[in-house]
Structure 1
């Protein structure tokens, strides 16, 4: 998604939300007005950051899987982030986005934007304890990110670890065999077999991911609104 399109969509959402949500009293164009604008930017960036961070858990899981299966040698350029990403991680990320859209997750985010103005009125500033509580919430979300990534990657990593053990035993029993030539194709084939079997479980993990995301957004709004 080009940056210009994202900025334009953010501007459209701002116009729509501004037409719906009206402050109880007028806000004067003074120094406090600039602080309120910065406060609204902080709230919006926090909503987007905490939502995207949990979606990046599937990309982290794909990176762990590709490191074990050998697909890390073939990286794919992601124009959205401008960096090289593993193929399985990108595949999981696209599946997560499609799952998120299929359950109307975008409508959930729009309702979250509208709810943020109910929890945090436009004319009010953020409480003093926001920064400390946001750091605590960020650490909790990071813990959930790694936990979900390990949960997704564990079937692949465990199966490929058993394949490595089998190849190691085979290397000892048949030293004439070149395992470097046949080992990588075997691990890739096992990778695709496990991926095919794991797909129903992946949807269950995505449901848990969305629940964690909704809970994190509610906690963030409570912290910012205090």
Structure 2
């Protein structure tokens, strides 16, 4: 029995699978530790089959050595694109971390296997909320759409221009820091004013222990007002998903 095989189709789809899998291993929401790596690999294979009509158009078979180099190039391309998306969405995690620091929750750290770091309560809460919102709002579709359109600009036989990701990395890092402060900013101002008020009280009444009073007051203010910050997260995640899709297009264009 003779089963004909289209080796050009297999090679092109394999290269696309490597790029997509490397992207899924790094980019949120798929990079969360609660999603096993084998599930991400299976998803990468399925998505590669979906884009195979695009990546195989005009594909010419490569030699063994060139094909292996192309595999490495696709892994680097996918990982770079995924890292840019991860950096952009780190703004939500950074906002939670700022609230933990200023609100006095930083002492209650625990290892979170999902994000792979020691994190305080609001850091983990904001990160998990962002992941849930990405899946429920369809934001992950925008991110994957940006990845799929990268195949039009950077074919599976090529590699991304490293100058563009470097510039985009600097811009995304700055945007991440600014976004984190903007998300948590109103609550941080309240907590800062609470510190100023406690300092003035200490000057007026030195007998009062401002350090002992500060913890319960700041924790109470944080728990009372964090709901206002939490309520804006759906809109923030929606904007970040759109920015991530535009960033992927800008880097690969």
Do they superpose with TM above 0.5? yes
Q: Which runs of 5 or more structure 1 residues have no equivalent in the other structure?
A: none
Match of 1:178 among 205, 209, 221: 209
Greater RCO, 1 or 2 (C-alpha within 8 Å, sep 6+): 1
Query: 2:159 is matched with which residue: 114, 126, 133?
Result: 126
CA-atom RMSD, angstroms?
Answer: 2.2
Change (3 A) 1:149 1:19: closer
The equivalent of 1:111 in structure 2 is 145
Aligned pairs (5 A) from 1:132-171: 132-171=163-202
- 1:40 is aligned to 2:74: yes
* TM superposition score normalised by structure 1: 0.86
Aligned in 2, Cα 1:7/1:41: closer, same or farther, shift over 3 Å?
Answer: farther
Q: In structure 2, how many angstroms separate the alpha carbons of the residues matched to 1:4 and 1:98? A: 13
Indicate how the Cα distance of structure 1 residues 39 and 183 shifts in structure 2: closer, same or farther if over 3 A, else same: same
Q: Equivalent residue of 1:122, what SS?
A: coil
> Does 28-37 or 3-12 show the bigger shift?
3-12
Query: What is the correspondence of 1:1-226 to structure 2 with a 5 Å cutoff?
Result: 1-2=32-33, 5-18=36-49, 20-22=51-53, 23=56, 24-123=58-157, 125-126=158-159, 130-222=161-253
How many residues get paired?
Answer: 219
Shift of 1:84: 0.7
Output the TM-score relative to the length of structure 2: 0.78
Cα gap change, 1:221/1:132 in structure 2, threshold over 3 Å: closer, same or farther? closer
